[in-house]
């Protein structure tokens, strides 16, 4: 198992199969997607803003601030650090920090559905 971070604002879990190929498993901080925050509604909202701005001009005053994503991080994750006790060889906890200024400690033992 490997954990990846970056622009998704959410740690990603990857696992290797028997042949050694790595694939995405799931996000560590999964959130339920409501119809108002689905990808389709986000796209239509963005297109609506773009279309509205092209008719009214491209003033930056009309742009609304982005809405919080609802997860632990609200901006890209820039750092990940393993946290282990003593000489443990298996990392069960790690911390992330991001451009939102937050530091989050993740505990993998609480996520029992993660493949080993």
pLDDT on residue 62:
46
Q: How far is CA 103 from the centre of its chain?
A: 14
List CB contacts of 71: < 8 A, sequence separation 6 or more.
9, 10, 29, 31
Q: Taking all residues of the chain, what is their mean pLDDT, rounded to a whole number?
A: 76
pLDDT on residue 38:
58
Domain boundaries, the chain: 1-31+73-116, 33-69
Percent of the chain clearing pLDDT 90 (strictly above): 30
Q: pLDDT digit string (tens) for 29-86?
A: 875 444 445 556 666 666 666 666 544 444 444 444 444 556 788 889 999 999 988 8
20-35 core/surface letters (b: 16 or more CB in 10 A; e: else)? eeeeeeeebbeeeeee
Higher per-residue confidence, 55 vs 16: 16
Total residues found in the chain within this entry: 116
Q: Is 68 helix (H, G, I), strand (E, B) or coil?
A: coil
């Amino acid at each position: 198992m490997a954990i990846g971070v970056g622009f998704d604002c959410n740690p990603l879990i990857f696992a290797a199969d028997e042949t050694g190929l790595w694939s995405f498993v799931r996000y560590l901080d999964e959130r339920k997607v409501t119809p108002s925050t689905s990808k389709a509604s986000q796209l239509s909202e963005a297109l609506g803003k773009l279309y509205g701005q092209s008719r009214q001009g491209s003033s930056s005053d009309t742009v609304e601030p982005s809405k919080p994503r609802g997860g632990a991080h609200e901006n890209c994750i820039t750092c990940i650090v393993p946290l282990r006790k003593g000489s443990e060889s298996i990392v069960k906890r790690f911390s992330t920090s991001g451009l939102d200024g937050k530091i989050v400690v993740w505990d993998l033992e609480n996520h029992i559905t993660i493949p080993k």
